[in-house]
Amino acid sequence: MNYSRDGITVAAMIDTSHPKKDGLFPVRIRVTYARERRYYPTGKSLTLEEWEALPATKARTLIAIRKDIESSYQIVRTVVEDLAMRRIFSLENLNSRLKRVGSDTLTIAFESKITEMRVQDRIGNMMAYQVVMKGIKRFAGDRVSLSSVTEDWVWRYE
């Protein structure tokens, strides 16, 4: 999980400089630009042995952890690529965008997915998400919390 382009580097790494009391080390996503670094948490912690075994593991628990780390990495990378594509990349802009991605509203979740699809050149799916997002905004507004989206809510929206 390494990405490098236009002087921007994104990598998953284990933070051995900040061990936890239980002996585990936090896994973070490191973004480097113009010799400055920012670290973003994945919410996962591993031992050094687990970190070394992670790429080739067959253990179910480690596979689940690897997928979660890859998901966190992909979120950061997607935002980095979008900002770089627009030629507005800075670590401050990245922090601002990632704070919004982490927010728990339906609109922000859709915007994040739309940006990811734009970067991946999946224009047809991106447009479908945009149409659904417009419908949700008309139905419930911009501030729909993810926790309020239930099966009943989806039936009413439909």
Residue 13, burial from CB neighbour count under 10 angstroms (0-12, 13-18, 19+) = middle
Average pLDDT over residues 7-35: 94
Please check the confidence at residue 103 and state whether its pLDDT lies above 80.
no
Element (H, E) at 2: strand 2-5
In a domain, 116, yes or no: yes
Instruction: Please count the residues of the chain.
Output: 158
pLDDT digits (tens, 9 = 90+) for 30-86: 999 999 999 999 889 999 999 999 999 899 999 999 999 998 899 899 889 989 988
Into how many domains does the chain fold?
Answer: 2
Residue where a domain stops, chosen among 59, 88, 117 = 88
11 plus 78 within the same structural domain: yes
- pLDDT the model gives residue 65: 92
pLDDT over 70 percentage in the chain = 97
- Spatial distance between the Cα atoms of 102 and 76, rounded to a whole number of angstroms: 11
Q: CA-CA distances (angstroms) from residue 15 to 40, 56, 82, 113, 136?
A: 11, 20, 26, 28, 40
In a domain, 93, yes or no: no
- pLDDT the model gives residue 27: 95
Q: How confident is the model at residue 149 (pLDDT cuts 50, 70, 90)?
A: confident
In a domain, 94, yes or no: no
List the structure tokens of 127: 């447009």
Instruction: Domain of residue 123: give its range.
Output: 103-158
Residue 141's CB is within 10 A of a number of other CB atoms, namely 11
Q: How far is CA 78 from the centre of its chain?
A: 7
12 plus 48 within the same structural domain: yes
Q: How confident is the model at residue 100 (pLDDT cuts 50, 70, 90)?
A: low
Q: What are phi and psi of 16, to 5 degrees?
A: -75, -10
Please check the confidence at residue 7 and state whether its pLDDT lies above 60.
yes
Please check the confidence at residue 146 and state whether its pLDDT lies above 80.
no
